Amino acid sequence: MNRENSIKLFEEAKKVIPGGVNSPVRAFKSVGGSPVFFASGNGSRMTDVDGNEYIDYIGSWGPHLFGHNPQFIQEALLEQIKKGVSFGAPSALEVQMAELLTQMLPSLEMVRMVNSGTEATMSAVRIARGYTGREKIIKFEGCYHGHADFFLIKAGSGALTFGVPTSPGVTKGNAADTLIADYNNLESVERIVSENKGQIAAIILEPVAGNMGVVKAADAFVKGLRELCTREGIILIFDEVMTGFRVAPCGAQEVLGITPDLSTFGKIIGGGLPVGAFGGKKEIMEKLSPAGPVYQAGTLSGNPLAMAAGYVAVKRLSEHKDIYKELEEKAAYLQAGFENHIKAAGKNFQVNRVGSMMTLFFTEKPVTDFASATSSDTVLFGKFFHEMLNRGVYLPPAQYEALFISTAHTQADLDETIGAMGEALKAALLQ
């Protein structure tokens, strides 16, 4: 494929944007080569600035559950644009959205809108600290909760891809208050809690990790966390920025059958627009300003564009829960196709999937945590990625990310992807 215009744009971008991109994982550093610049997206496909078309499995990193640019979201946005794009004051849309979210998720008694997943997780930790009067938190190696200072300690996603688990600019004080446990290892958590008795404000967890690749929290592990937090007065936070409304109507907490104290959301609840939210128990959330002393604010929080798009997206999910059955069938079909080609190649690479999220790990060890995820052959993944790209399939440009299936992916899309995967895998293994 000719990508002359993408290459030219990247060179221009590097002169005015650090690294040429506005989010590190877009830079293709872990797979090599130059990133693709896109001009448009429609349904299951995107078209780049050179006119090449790709079946897209990123979906803007999760929110495009209905594919790119669906008509009903377009209509909601156009209608709201005529009324106003931002007020900096309350609107009825915010109330409607909050009521819808609290109706759909039993764990949400109150919710506050923010503008990103990072804001949501950062604010959830702040209110947990304010509520408990404690300062330390526990996070898990390989989990990514945004780029707030206290999260960039052995983080996943771009931080993992770039091999910078502790970012420069993070203070020693922040690092000292963030304690690291092993994902799917309850003993490691219990040991930390015992060593820091009465000092842990919160445990934050991706219940289905998507930022070291897709890794599901084991049932016994997450049940043990719930019991431990209840016993020790620790706030259990589920980071559902990626999984909320994607893996099930009530997110990963429905899949796992566990009720967290606080949850964070993003992506899908904005219908593809920048948005986030955090919420949970009323007694905790009422500590938030202006009802309580814990301060959090945002001029564009709950802005009418994001609320208009998000409301119609979540409303459709609430009214058509058969969408999840459709997504499950499509994702299972794609997984089976991948696994058949892996077997035919004489390999035992791992395909982890939860609902419509999936990762092909280039390792023959079961992937259950950070250590097993990083046993993957990232060089081979890079070769495979480019072979798929050259066949018109756009996958996440990093081994440690999830691909996403949407309702817009057709049977023809899936079959084309599976066919491309077989050819790409053979080609990558021969290099």
Query: Within 13 A of 377's CA, how many CA atoms are on the CB side?
Result: 16
Name the pairing type of β-strands 200-205 and 235-239.
parallel
Sign of CA dihedral 126, 132, 134, 137: negative
The whole model's pTM is what?
Answer: 0.94
Burial 148-179 (b: 16+ CB within 10 A, else e): bbbbbbbbbbbbbbeeebeeeebeeeeeebbb
Q: Evaluate whether 120 touches 266 at the Cβ level (below 8 Å).
A: yes
Give dist(CA 307, CA 396) in Å, integer. 27
- pLDDT of 153 > 80? The answer is no
- pLDDT of 406 > 90? The answer is yes
Whether 144 sits among the annotated catalytic residues: the reply is yes
Tens of pLDDT, residue by residue over 297-328, are 999 999 999 999 999 999 999 999 899 999 99
**Last residue within a domain, chosen from 268, 290, 319:** 319
Q: What is the pLDDT of residue 252?
A: 96
Are 234 and 138 in a shared domain? yes
Q: What is the DSSP letter of 37?
A: P
Query: Within 13 A of 398's CA, how many CA atoms are on the CB side?
Result: 28
User: What is the arithmetic mean of pLDDT over 17-39?
Assistant: 94
In this structure, what token pair is assigned to residue 239? 């980071």
Are 259 and 358 in a shared domain? no
**Last residue within a domain, chosen from 260, 293, 319:** 319
**Last residue within a domain, chosen from 319, 347, 367:** 319
Whether 267 sits among the annotated catalytic residues: the reply is yes
Residue type, 170: V
Where in the sequence is the domain holding 184, given as residue range(s)? 71-319
Residue 154: band (very low, low, confident or very high) from pLDDT cuts 50, 70, 90: low
- pLDDT of 161 > 70? The answer is no
Are 412 and 277 in a shared domain? no
Are 347 and 302 in a shared domain? no
328-to-242, 267, 332, 410 alpha-carbon distances in Å: 17, 19, 6, 13
Q: Give residue for tokens 């009825």.
A: 92
Are 83 and 55 in a shared domain? no
Q: Evaluate whether 407 touches 70 at the Cβ level (below 8 Å).
A: no
Q: Cβ–Cβ contacts within 10 Å for residue 104, how many?
A: 16
- pLDDT of 159 > 70? The answer is no
Are 179 and 313 in a shared domain? yes
Q: Evaluate whether 137 touches 163 at the Cβ level (below 8 Å).
A: no
Single out the catalytic residue among 48, 177, 182, 239: 239
- The SS3 of residue 202 is strand
**pLDDT greater at residue 172 or residue 373:** 373
Q: What is the pLDDT of residue 112?
A: 97
CA-derived radius of gyration, the chain: 21
Q: What is the pLDDT of residue 376?
A: 97
CATH of the domain at 78: 3.40.640.10
For the chain, what is the mean pLDDT?
Answer: 93
Number of domains in the chain: 2
Q: What is the pLDDT of residue 170?
A: 73
Are 130 and 222 in a shared domain? yes
- pLDDT of 18 > 70? The answer is yes
Q: What is the pLDDT of residue 133?
A: 97
Residue type, 114: V
- pLDDT of 177 > 90? The answer is no
Are 307 and 355 in a shared domain? no
- pLDDT of 165 > 70? The answer is no
User: What is the arithmetic mean of pLDDT over 8-15?
Assistant: 97
In this structure, what token pair is assigned to residue 29? 């550093």
Are 106 and 223 in a shared domain? yes
User: What is the arithmetic mean of pLDDT over 107-117?
Assistant: 96
What are the strands of the beta sheet with 403-404, ordered from one edge? 350-354, 357-361, 403-404
Q: Give residue for tokens 């945002």.
A: 298
Rounded to 5°, angle at Cα 160 from 182 and 139: 35
CATH of the domain at 57: 3.90.1150.10
Name the pairing type of β-strands 357-361 and 350-354.
antiparallel
Single out the catalytic residue among 144, 311, 394, 400: 144
User: What is the arithmetic mean of pLDDT over 44-49?
Assistant: 98
Give dist(CA 419, CA 146) in Å, integer. 35
Are 28 and 130 in a shared domain? no
Residue type, 290: P
Give dist(CA 73, CA 79) in Å, integer. 10
Tens of pLDDT, residue by residue over 340-362, are 999 999 999 999 999 999 999 99
What are the strands of the beta sheet with 393-394, ordered from one edge? 38-42, 45-48, 53-56, 393-394
- pLDDT of 142 > 90? The answer is no
Single out the catalytic residue among 29, 154, 267, 383: 267
User: What is the arithmetic mean of pLDDT over 125-135?
Assistant: 96
The counts of H helices and E strands in the chain are 15, 16
Q: Evaluate whether 268 touches 314 at the Cβ level (below 8 Å).
A: yes
Are 50 and 98 in a shared domain? no
Are 92 and 227 in a shared domain? yes
